[in-house]
Amino acid sequence: MNCRNIMSFIAMFFLIGIGNVFAQEATWPAKTTYHFQEVHGHKIFYRTAGDPSQPTILLLHGYPSSSHTYRELIPLLSGRYHIIAPDNLGSGYSDKPDPAQTNYDFDLLAEHITGLLKASNIQNYVIYMQDFGAPVGYRVMMHDPSKVQAIIAQNANAYLEGIPKAKQNFFNNAQLDKSPENVKKLYNFTSSDAVKYKQYLRDIKGKEEIMSPDSWTHDSHFLQTDKERYIQVALFQDYKTNLDRYPEWQAFLRKYQFPMLLVWGKNDPVFMVSGAKAYLKDLPNAEVHLLDAGHFAVEEKPVEIAKHIINFMDRLVVDEGRIQELHPY
């Protein structure tokens, strides 16, 4: 075979491979249902859909959202998988104990997600993490690594390379400076205008029509009272503990070598593309897709993300309910 024929064959193989990435047949969604589960004396709200005998995908949300952020993704996956999407303690429809009497930190959020999984008899799961979902998710996974089958990260950081220095300083100051002036500054980040313009519309200048107003309207509904807003202030103040734990999370990934899919909004100026690429240092076989989207990529590109997830899940080898490895592309 001459050089030209070899190159033609390679090109044909590449094109066929790209076509197969999105070759999944559509399936009818299962009905999403809505539940509360008591965990450690608090009611935790969650959405669920799909056949529990199928692989479970746990969807963990970020700030300032709740499981509502997955309202379009869930029906795209529920015809194939069992989906569970909880609201963190203090967010969405879940209980919101008074922050004056409850020490809100990411350990507390993770304890309630772990408790929900136990109460729901979830034995194994694939975890999908976005934003705050990463620090919650890593704590949940490290509690019992044997339950983790694979990881999907969407703008879910675990590397300092992925966070601008100015944002690192912001988290450091949030932890150290408890002055009334700095607390007020953090409090202002939870306003309706900040949620709309500094969160959801920040990364989509000139194409605002792709972002549903349901997103910021829903989130702002749960950030109306001082109590609700100060819960998020407390989590801002605790966020530096996540940066401190990055080396632990990276060692965890190196040790277990979970199958990993990264679907990352490349227009995110806070959880940058370099944070997605950094995962390859510890998981060199991770599958990476950089999307033309921002921090809330699942709000912008739910169908594209669902296709990547289905393709990824189709390549997982399941043996007696446990995912063992990935089929090659």
10-residue mean pLDDT series, the chain (329 residues): 40 37 77 98 98 98 98 98 98 98 98 98 98 98 98 98 98 98 98 98 97 98 98 98 98 98 98 98 98 98 98 80 58
The helix (run of H) or strand (run of E) holding residue 316 is strand 316-319
Question: Domain ranges in the chain?
Answer: 28-163+245-326
Q: Which pLDDT value is given to residue 226?
A: 98
| Residues found in the chain | 329
Token representation of residue 32: 């999403």
Establish whether 289 is a catalytic residue: no
Pairing state between β 316-319 and 322-326: antiparallel
Query: Can you give the pLDDT at residue 5?
Result: 43
What pLDDT was estimated at residue 49? Answer: 98
> Between 3.40.50.1820, 3.40.50.300, 3.40.50.2300, 3.20.20.70, what CATH number should domain 28-163+245-326 receive?
3.40.50.1820
Catalytic residue from among 218, 295, 308, 327:
295
Q: How many whole angstroms separate alpha carbon 111 and alpha carbon 303?
A: 31
Q: Give the Cα separation of 2 and 8 in Å (integer).
A: 10
Q: What is the pLDDT of residue 312?
A: 97
144, 258 contact by CB (below 8 A)? no
* Strand spans (E) along the chain: 33-39, 42-49, 56-60, 82-86, 125-129, 148-153, 260-265, 287-291, 316-319, 322-326
Q: Is the dihedral of CA 181, 185, 186, 190 positive or negative?
A: positive
Q: Which residues pair with 288 in a beta bridge?
A: 262
Residue 184's identity, in one-letter code, is K
Q: What is the pLDDT of residue 319?
A: 54
Which pLDDT belongs to residue 12?
A: 34
pLDDT of residue 18: 40
Give the pTM: 0.91
